[in-house]
Amino acid sequence: MGSSTLSIGFFFAFMALTLAITYWAARRTRTTEHFFAAGGQVTPWQNGWALAGDFLSAAALLGIAGIVTSNGFDGMIYSIGWLVGWPIILFLIVEPLRNVGRFTFADVVAYRLRQRPVRLAGAVGTLAVILFYLIAQMVATGSLIKLLFGLPYTWSVIVVGSVMLVYVLFGGMLATTWVQVVKAALLMGGGILLAFLVLTHFEMNPLKLFAAASEKYGTKVLQPGSKVVSGQWDAISLGLGLMFGTAAMPHVLMRAYTVKDAKAARLSILYATGLIGVFHLMVFIIGFGAMVLVGADAVAKAGGGGNMAAPLLALTVGGNAFFGFICAVAFATMLAVVAGLTLSGVATLCHDVWTNVIRNGSASEAEQLKVARVATVMISIFAIFLGNAFEGQNVAFMAGLAFSIACAANFPSLVLAITWRRFTTPAAVASILVGTLSSLVLIYLSPTIQVDILGKPLAAIEHQWWFVSLRNPAIISMPLSFAVAILLSLVTREKNANRAFDEMQRRILLGPIQPNTDEPARAKSAA
């Protein structure tokens, strides 16, 4: 495609802008408070955009548009699932998180409990989520960039890994935030323009678009099918994983700490929900637009498993320049998401594992920053290495697995720590580990691994005693994790945790900066 010069031009403009931001941010990143939480000085409106930028991966634009183009309505199941977790974050999680924690969600779970075991378990849960999500993103990124720009896979992965390293290493949360804001603005702008151009072909009436689609491909495209999500309980289980997994994604939760108080955190979730909701409605239009204006066959023929639907549609309705722009936006999207993921992995390694487990809570600022930077380099190298190792593998399940683990490992312990007086250390540790392990085991025994990856015939294994027919483990692993947590809390006693509950409730309401309280005040180290 001759337009790749244009897309490379757009891409370099984005790189120049974000690297300039990183340079600017690097000069303002002096403490861990800056590195992990941008000094708490991001405004709710900026944070809302950054949350949208953090959360909307390339899958949200390219992937869902592709599913809609080839299957019609069913693509929306993912759009909806990725949105309904946000109200849960707002109602149950974000304010306690902001007022009690400092950098990670384990801050909140471990607040009343014994620090070391809970933080270690929390790190296992968080790093498992981040690892699988990062692999899924890196592999998708490598193959998409190869498709969009013609750059070889290995180089694509190396470029993305290195640029993300630069953002996080030098600019910390401040640079990552602004990269996400810029990316979210480009993504929203591109998405809205694309949907608008589609609708100009249909008298600005989405119903005319849907009618044209059903005329061309039959009414089945307007009806729920069973190709995208098969199995009744699997659909419910997928829904659970998407809803409560979103509500416990570490890189999303971490953004609660970048604003100045609980009210600002509350507002930023509201803005993010609105932005993500509008975006998903646009993607639905874009998917149907590609179905009618480009054609499902042409999209399938372009390769990439349907991912080319949105770019090809841009080419059709907006010409070469728009095609180049959408490709560059997709690239920016991938970069911003992996940067956010990496930063939350670094926060867990540095703040939870190093400072609070290994150094028992007493590490100097300089030491913590050094550890954070070493961890950033480690995770980036790891991501590049794994991205290459999994080239050509079917890793789509890993994103779903990440949501399932977040839902089963992180969500129960977080909610119980905030709301239940009797919650204890053994319960928290067991609930996180059981949630992580059961998700892994269940997915290993499901057709996702056994049939799709290992290539065994379904008929040969479906009568085995160990076979799990569900492709989405959340419906088993999440209740299991809750049950373990409740049971162990009832049979163990922890006087300190029980006593600290009132103090925690107070802090959830009033926040950390209270004079004359005996708790350690949130370290507000001035720049």
Partner 1 sequence: MNVVIPGKPDPAPSVSALAKKRLTVALVLSAAMIVIYFGFMGLFAFDKPLLGTILMPGLSLCIVLGPLVIISSFALCLVYVLWANRVFDAGIRNLR
Residue 281 touches partner 1, criterion: CB under 8 A: yes
Give whichever of 96 and 426 is closer to partner 1, judged by the CB atom: 96
Whole-number Cα distances in Å, 50 to 89, 106, 404? 16, 22, 23
CA angle 373, 379, 383 (to 5 degrees): 145
Q: Count, in order, helices (H) and strands (E) of the chain.
A: 24, 0
Task: Name the amino acid, one letter, at 471.
Answer: R
Residue 506 touches partner 1, criterion: CB under 8 A: yes
> Could you give the string, one character per residue 21-60, with x where binding to partner 1 holds by CB under 8 A and - elsewhere?
----------------------------------------
Residues 6 or more apart from 175 whose CB is under 8 A from it?
Answer: 18, 21, 22, 24, 25, 26, 29, 167, 168
Binding segment for partner 1 among 61-69, 269-277, 311-319, 454-462 (CB under 8 A)?
Answer: 269-277
Of 53-82, binders to partner 1 (CB under 8 A) are 73, 76-77, 79-80
Residues 405/472, Cβ–Cβ less than 8 Å: no
Residue 286 touches partner 1, criterion: CB under 8 A: no
> Could you give the string, one character per residue 404-423, with x where binding to partner 1 holds by CB under 8 A and - elsewhere?
---------------x----
Residue 84 touches partner 1, criterion: CB under 8 A: yes
Taking the complex as a whole, the smallest distance from the CB of residue 519 to partner 1 amounts, in Å, to 11
Closest CA to 508 of 48, 89, 94, 90: 94
Instruction: Count Cβ neighbours within 10 Å for each residue of 288-314 and write b for 16 or more, e otherwise.
Output: bbbbbbbbbeebbebebbbbbbbbbbb
Scanning 420-522, the segments in alpha helix (DSSP H) are: 425-444, 447, 458-461, 474-491, 495-510
Pick the binder of partner 1 from 40, 224, 305, 318 (CB under 8 A): 224
Residue 378 touches partner 1, criterion: CB under 8 A: no
Residue 5 touches partner 1, criterion: CB under 8 A: no
Taking the complex as a whole, the smallest distance from the CB of residue 203 to partner 1 amounts, in Å, to 12
Binding segment for partner 1 among 9-17, 119-127, 265-273, 321-329 (CB under 8 A)?
Answer: 265-273
Instruction: Count Cβ neighbours within 10 Å for each residue of 477-503 and write b for 16 or more, e otherwise.
Output: bbebbbebbbebbeeeebeebeebbee
Please tell me the distance from the alpha carbon of residue 507 to that of residue 62, in angstroms, as a whole number.
42
Pick the binder of partner 1 from 210, 331, 354, 411 (CB under 8 A): 210
Task: Name the amino acid, one letter, at 232.
Answer: Q
Taking the complex as a whole, the smallest distance from the CB of residue 393 to partner 1 amounts, in Å, to 30
Binding residues for partner 1, rule: CB under 8 A, are 73, 76-77, 79-80, 83-84, 86-88, 90-92, 206-214, 219, 222-226, 229, 232-233, 235-236, 239, 243, 263, 266-267, 269-270, 273-274, 277, 280-281, 284, 419, 502, 505-506, 508-510, 514-517
